[in-house]
Structure 1
Amino acid sequence: MQKMLSSQHVLPPDLLSVKIKVKGVSMSFQKEDACNSLGIADIDSDSKDPQDCSQYAPEIYKHMLVTELDHRAPANYMETLQSDVTANMRGILIDWLIEVAEEYKLVPDTLYLTVNLIDRSLSQIYIEKQRLQLLGVTCMLIASKYEEILAPQVEEFCFITDNTYKREEVLKMERQVVDMMHFNLSVPTTKTFLRRFIQAAQTSYKDPCLELEYLANYLAELTLVEYDFIKFLPSLIAASAVFLARWTLNQSVHPWNPTLEHYTNYRAPELRSTVLALEDLQLNISRCPLNAIREKYRLQKFKSVADLSSPERVQSLFE
């Protein structure tokens, strides 16, 4: 759980809304007690799950929207630092790690943090291609220790590489990575925001819509293997995944509403570029051969959402 807002980030009680600017990004936050008058559903008042921390959730997520700017890799690190490793190699590595995560039944947060650590590491140190897999399993080891109740052992990560790397090599790389990260592993990822945004989207339904949850998660996970999506903030990807999921499931109603705008802090036009890029992934316009995510979400337990698509392109909503 992210640490709470510092005093300078707490919203003034006497204001209906406040706009802040952090590193050139403008964000507006509205007071929670103004929700009802604007037709915005209160998604925290009826929460029965103590893990939702509903009493503090608004402040926590506002804090995350600010701090997500500090924990992302530069969007051009592959061109400026890496000469032996390519974006395609990165995609192949992550596609394989998705299969590893499924094999060991790791939680989604572990996978997202793994990718975050890989990108942050590759943006800081030069890696030869024969050591890229070592970096990948090491980042998953670190993420597992942080997110899992029972993390796989070092030896298991050596085993899945056919013992290409020894235990000592993995541990040495682990020390190097956590040192680069300054042990800062509590970072907002797309999955962090997606939980909140799906919760907001579910207020449109009488009963929780599992297809919406699975489809939004599927669309968000598709971006993990795509180097080009590093340029988008995690919260922006999460909001766009919800937008496109709602459009895919129902074209008769606009996928965005005041509740989603309030909790995501994004207006529909601000999602345009990301939603269109995400739809290209959904339709596999580039014929990407990396299919770990698609095969995962074709399973019946996820209601085969990987096979869903809208008969009408989402571009029409932005014209």
Structure 2
Amino acid sequence: MKKENSVMLKDGELPGRLTRARAAAALRASGQLPPLKVQSQQNQKQLSSGVNSKRAVSGNTCVQRKKRPALKDVTNVCCENSYKGCFNSTKIQAKRSKVAKADQINVSKVASSVNMGPPQFQADSKAKSLQEATLNSEDTMCSINLGHKELLRLSANDCCKGFRLPESQTSGISAHPLISQKKDKDNLSKLLTALKDPNISNIDDDFEDPQSCSLYAADICDNMRVVELARRPYPNFMETVQRDITHSMRAILVDWLVEVSEEYKLVTDTLYLTVHLIDRFLSKNYIERQRLQLLGITCMLIASKYEEINAPRIEDFCVITDNTYTKMEVLKMESQVLRSSDYQLFAPTIQTFLRMFVRAAQASYKGPNLELEYLANYLAELTLMDYSFLNFLPSIIAASAVFLARWTLDQSNHPWNSTLHHYACYKASDLKTTVLALQDLQLNTSGCPLNAVRTKYKQDRFKCVAALSSPKLVETLF
């Protein structure tokens, strides 16, 4: 049986056992406790108003426990219907109604001021000044290259919409260029004139393909032009830093890495990034010839992790060297390469620019020309083994490869047109030295015995472009 509390009876007290209900009834009868209906009404008011007030609790009062509201929306997204069941919904709706009323009052004030004569001029002047201040404060500034080293400051609207949109799509766009000097007006007129040129094809108007990045392709290209200058290896590190390795040793290493990339079916970007990491490391660190191959497989391991979906394992690179190096040696060299590059692995290579220039070159064709693409890639890969091509920027090597590939396939037309000039930002005369050096590699005038790249592009899947040879370059081309 349950034990119940019992108390001594005194005069005037209720007989029998004292329960909570009887104690509460006695307190209400004596006036020490308010009636039950008043208390329930107060509790209902507190629950409806949503106020969490703290009260002092004494032994003579009985406070009903407040119920917590159920969680309606635990996300950080503010939706209109998310707070209908919450207790603070009345406050939110009240605030919204106040804001709406305030807007109506402001609109009525503006309307009344516009109807008057002199205040209308002041209101118009204030609106213009406010609009100008908003444009100056909210527009994001960016720069676009025009020709050679010409910069134009444009607003965020212009950069997002892009000046390379077709004319039919730009007719309804209102541009707000922030022109602070007279030179900016001249640059804007030059840019608009160049884009209206019928000889220039727009290769960035494929808005249905998200991988083409049509809206900000121009900004990406400008950024790559800056980065290729900042992260290029020193072109004379063999003479200044290295004392134990030579040009031919580097060429042999790169030729072997081409075979390794074919063995593991790595993408072309991995090969280019591998050679770039090797040259960047050799530009800052001295290395012995016994560790040159270790540097090569380590840089290819890093590039594979960066570019490939399924990168080869460290053990695979150790096996490819006939276990000349151990796994611990590769890991140690990997940390040295990463520290030397400050963990900044991205760098625009020849392949980065070649992709864009080939698209610009194919704009004059009715369909994709695979032979042109393979031949340009073949000529570009030949430059990886030649140490002297470090004197040229990757962008100018890519432009020269497209120039020579077009001349090899078609001598009836000039290999450099207005579209290539617009996107590459190089004139034909700027490419003369690089194109002549690249043709020497194509014809193998020096008799180089390293044939990994030539063997690769003699396959049928590359349309045997390595067997092609270009005629003599005419001086009038430049």
Q: So what's the TM-score if we normalise by structure 1?
A: 0.91
- Does the CA contact (< 8 Å) of 1:276 and 1:315 recur in 2? no
Match of 1:12 in 2: 153
SS of equivalent residue, structure 1 residue 12: strand
What are the Cα deviations for residues 152-178 of structure 1, in whole angstroms up to 9, with x where unaligned?
A: 011111110001000000000000000
Change in 2 beyond 3 A, CA 1:195/1:18: farther
Match of 1:69 in 2: 229
Match of 2:260 among 100, 104, 110: 100
Q: CA deviation at 1:71?
A: 1.1
Q: Matches of 1:186 and 1:213 in 2, distance apart? A: 24
Letter in 1 for 2:269: D
| Equivalent pairs, count | 303
Q: Matches of 1:225 and 1:89 in 2, distance apart? A: 10
Match of 1:50 in 2: 210
Q: Matches of 1:77 and 1:317 in 2, distance apart? A: 36
Structure 2: 5+ residue stretches without partners:
1-139, 145-151, 155-176, 178-183
Letter in 2 for 1:254: H
After TM superposition, the structure 1 stretch with the greater mean CA deviation from structure 2, 50-59 or 87-96, is: 50-59
Match of 1:23 in 2: none
Match of 2:249 in 1: 89
What are the Cα deviations for residues 201-255 of structure 1, in whole angstroms up to 9, with x where unaligned?
A: 0011111111100000000000000000001000000000000000000001000
Q: How does 1:129-278 map to 2 (within 5 A)?
A: 129-278=289-438
Structure 1: 5+ residue stretches without partners:
1-5, 20-29
Change in 2 beyond 3 A, CA 1:17/1:307: farther
Q: Are 2:473 and 1:314 equivalent residues in the alignment? A: yes
Q: CA deviation at 1:32?
A: 7.0
Q: Matches of 2:391 and 2:475 in 1, distance apart? A: 24
- Does the CA contact (< 8 Å) of 2:443 and 2:469 recur in 1? yes
Q: Matches of 2:445 and 2:331 in 1, distance apart? A: 40
Percent identity of paired positions between Structure 1 and Structure 2? 60
Q: Matches of 2:448 and 2:207 in 1, distance apart? A: 40
Structure of larger gyration radius: 2
What are the Cα deviations for residues 255-288 of structure 1, in whole angstroms up to 9, with x where unaligned?
A: 0011000000100000000000000000001011
Q: Matches of 1:107 and 1:208 in 2, distance apart? A: 21
Q: Matches of 2:410 and 2:185 in 1, distance apart? A: 33
- Does the CA contact (< 8 Å) of 1:45 and 1:54 recur in 2? yes
Q: Matches of 2:185 and 2:383 in 1, distance apart? A: 35
Q: Matches of 2:302 and 2:431 in 1, distance apart? A: 32
Match of 2:200 in 1: 40
Q: Matches of 2:192 and 2:323 in 1, distance apart? A: 53
Match of 1:302 among 462, 465, 468: 462
- Does the CA contact (< 8 Å) of 2:301 and 2:314 recur in 1? yes
Q: So what's the TM-score if we normalise by structure 2?
A: 0.61
Q: CA deviation at 1:137?
A: 0.3
Match of 1:288 among 431, 434, 448: 448
Q: Matches of 1:72 and 1:159 in 2, distance apart? A: 31
What are the Cα deviations for residues 263-315 of structure 1, in whole angstroms up to 9, with x where unaligned?
A: 001000000000000000000010111100000000011000001112x3124
Q: Matches of 1:16 and 1:267 in 2, distance apart? A: 24
Change in 2 beyond 3 A, CA 1:83/1:221: same
- The CA RMSD over aligned residues, in Å, is 1.8
Change in 2 beyond 3 A, CA 1:156/1:309: same
After TM superposition, the structure 1 stretch with the greater mean CA deviation from structure 2, 77-86 or 38-47, is: 38-47
SS of equivalent residue, structure 1 residue 123: helix
Match of 2:117 in 1: none
- Does the CA contact (< 8 Å) of 2:414 and 2:477 recur in 1? no
Match of 2:238 in 1: 78
- Does the CA contact (< 8 Å) of 1:158 and 1:165 recur in 2? yes
